[in-house]
Structures are given as C-alpha cells and as structure tokens.
Amino acid sequence: MFALVDCNSFYAACERLFRPDLQGQPVVVLSNNDGCIVAGSAEAKALGVKTGMPVHQARDLIARHKIVVFSSNYALYGDISQRVMATLETLVPQVEVYSIDEAFLDLSLMGEAELLPLAQQVRARIARWVGVPVCVGIAPTKVLAKLANHAAKRYPATGGTVVLTDPARRERLLALTPVSRVWGVGRRLSGGLEALGIETALDLARADSGMIRRRFSVVQERLVRELNGEPCLSLDTQPSPRQQVIHSRSFGEPVTALPPLRQALSDFAFRAMESLRKENLYTGRVTVYLRTAPMGKPQQLFPDTLSAALSPATADTRVVVHQALALLAQLWKPGYRYGKAGVILTDLRGRDQIQDGLFAQQGEPDDRGNALMTVMDTINQSGAGKVWLAGRGMQTDQRSAWAMRRAHLSPAYTSRWCDLPVAR
C-alpha cells in the first residue's frame, strides 16, 4: 500500500506562507528572468492563467484581476520542501522524495481501517507544522496512488484525501480519467493508445498486457499491471547516485564582453561545486557551454561546448573554476551577444573511488584544498557571512550585468538573517 503526498500549488503556497494577506488572492510565480508563468494558485488558474504562458501575453489578465506576481525564489521553495519531507518522516518509516513537492510513503504495515485517518493526519500535521496545503492519495500501487491524489485535488468533496482500496470505486475513477492523465503516459504514447481505441485509464487497465508490451514496451506493460492493483514499482528510498551536476542560467541582458562572462562562469562553477560537496562527491570532468541570445542575425544563434578532464578528480572549487575559465577563453568569440552559459560536472565519484598519485602523501595540496573547502562551506552555510572567489566579481547578484532578472523576488524568509520576519 502506497500513499502519494503532493503539495497544492506549491510555489504559490510558499509565497503565501509569510504573506497571510495573500490568502484567497490570485498568485503566480515566474520562471528564470521573469519570462513566463511556471506556477499559479487555484484562484489564478480559475481566471485563465496557464502554466507556461509568457508574461507579455498575461499582462492584461494580471492587471485586470490584480494578480500578485513573484519571481522564482528557489532557496525558499527548497527549504519549505525539506520541512515537508521531514514532517512526513515523523509519521511513517519510509519516505521516497519524488520531487520538490511530492513524496511516496510506504503504508504496507498498516491495516485498511488506519489508512484514511493517517491521510487526514498527514494533511493536518503538514498544515500545522509547515503551513502548506497537501492532498493525499492512497492505493495498492504507485500509479493508482497518483490517480487517487489527482482525484483528491480535483474533487473538493473528498476533503483532500482519497483511498482506493475498494475495487468498485477504483473502477469508477479509472473510467473518469483520460488515458493521457495516467502517470507515465506522455503525448506520443497517449496518441498511440487512442489509435487503438484506448481512451480512458479503465480501457488501459482492461487491455491485454502482452499486446501492450509487444506494441510499446515492458514499461507500458507495467502500467497496465499497476492499474489493475499489481505493484511493479517499489519504493525507492535510496536515490541513484548523481551522474552530473549542472549550473546554468540565462542572462538578464545579453553579454558582449569577456569579463562579465568570466564572472558568470566563476559563479556557476562555484555553485556547482557547492552542490557536489554536499553529496561528498568529486568530479573528473568539467564542461562549459555558451549560447548566443535569441535575437539578432540568424548566423549569431549557436551553442558551443568544450570539456576537459581533471586528474585526479577533485572537490576543490579553485581547480574547477581555473579549468572552466580556460575553456571559456577558447570558446569566447568577440562580436556575439551571449544569452546563456553553464558549467556541467561529470565523471562523478566518491572519495574511495579516487586513485591517489603514486607519490602522494598526507598533507598534499589536495588535502589542504579539501580542508579549505570545508571551512568555506561552513562559513557560507552559517548564515553569518559569505565567502567566494574574487573571480565572481565584487558586485551582488542583483547588480551584476549577467544576473537573472528577478524584479518580483520575495525575501529569503528562512535562510537569510536579515530577511527573517519580525513580529510586532
């Protein structure tokens, strides 16, 4: 038995958390560089706001209905997400964090009579401890739990919880659900299924699993089995090791000079290495890519990429920044307007997978560099101050020419001392 806990309009809910005056008001959150709408509250969606809508197309709608607009505040969303997941871990022994706002729970040791009270307790505790609303779907398989959660969100009469243990209730829900809404059915697959006359989730559940496997793949066969209550997907509480770390951004304005690009790449490499060290990993290859701004002459639109191996693999930000800037020097061409850049770290491994040099000794520069990185990370995570490499420049992100446009950014309520709310 699985439960899927999904936060409702998560980004908008996070923004409302420290703005109680916005309860019941339409709220939207914008993408990087404030380009398009990536999330909206239920009130905003009811007014016709759609995910992915460019901001310039929604300006009249925003002005007419006084929709409150926020730039993406990923530091806030990530912190609130961690609080939600930590709260879930107080209620059940195993939690699979599926995304920033979703988690699967293992309820296999619970009796059927305990499922609905637990779902209600989950909603109440997260609302009380964290402050964001969630819906809970419970079913014998992950795919059915996804459908149950969708029903809990769509039908207010459910009270935000749906338990699909009754076969008759399960069949009614499958009959009401278009096949395109089934977890794992994308646009191409739904088109292929509809061509076979499979239009609802119930049609897919009743389809011959062998035929589905022959026509599509074993993955789709598992969907059929899961819709019939046969679990094929287990709880994954140990995430797979990361294969790469990417830090990239679109620039707030096109960049035409090399120094701002050097500052941007230094910052991206710095942040990527911080993420790498949080997972106690080392990188053996760094890749830098540039992309010109989508404006101007057609011949100016191109992406360009260069990579370099690092030997030995390292967790030292200074080494990676030095190599990234060397690659940038080879990539940069004068006369172009650059709109995006990024740093990609690959060939990731743990410390026990790194082979030291034949003559390496304790106290070698790598060991001293790792100690320096530990001190730097400790300072940066303390909330008391920040340390960075001078190559990033002395300006703050909000004043940098290459920084993202975030004109509607909310405070970092939970991760910056000066932004802590003040009670009066």
Q: What burial letters (b/e) apply to 362-388, b meaning 16+ CB within 10 Å? A: eeeebeebeeebeebbeeeeeeeeeee
Query: Is the same domain home to 104 and 207?
Result: yes
> Contact 132/8 with Cβ under 8 angstroms?
yes
Query: Is the same domain home to 201 and 331?
Result: no
Give the CATH number of the domain where residue 179 resides.
1.10.150.20
Query: Is the same domain home to 202 and 255?
Result: no
Query: Is the same domain home to 121 and 203?
Result: yes
Query: Is the same domain home to 218 and 249?
Result: no
User: How far is the C-alpha of 259 from the C-alpha of 288, rounded, in Å?
Assistant: 16
pLDDT given for residue 355 in this prediction: 67
- One pLDDT digit (tens) per residue for the chain, 424 residues: 999 999 999 999 999 999 989 988 999 999 888 888 999 999 999 998 888 888 888 888 899 999 999 999 988 999 999 999 999 999 998 999 999 999 999 998 889 999 999 999 999 999 999 999 999 999 999 999 999 999 999 988 999 999 999 999 999 999 999 988 888 888 888 888 888 888 889 988 898 888 888 888 888 889 999 999 999 888 887 767 778 899 888 887 888 889 889 999 999 999 999 989 988 889 999 999 998 876 555 445 566 889 999 888 888 999 999 999 999 999 888 888 888 899 999 999 887 777 665 555 544 446 678 888 888 888 887 766 678 888 877 765 544 667 777 788 899 888 878 888 888 8
> Contact 265/328 with Cβ under 8 angstroms?
yes
Query: Is the same domain home to 97 and 223?
Result: yes
Domains held by the chain: number = 2
pLDDT given for residue 234 in this prediction: 86
Query: Is the same domain home to 102 and 215?
Result: yes
User: How far is the C-alpha of 37 from the C-alpha of 45, rounded, in Å?
Assistant: 11
User: How far is the C-alpha of 131 from the C-alpha of 20, rounded, in Å?
Assistant: 11
299 in a structural domain: yes
Residues in Cβ contact with 325 at an 8 Å cutoff, skipping those fewer than 6 apart: 262, 265, 266, 391
Tokens of 259: 């120094």
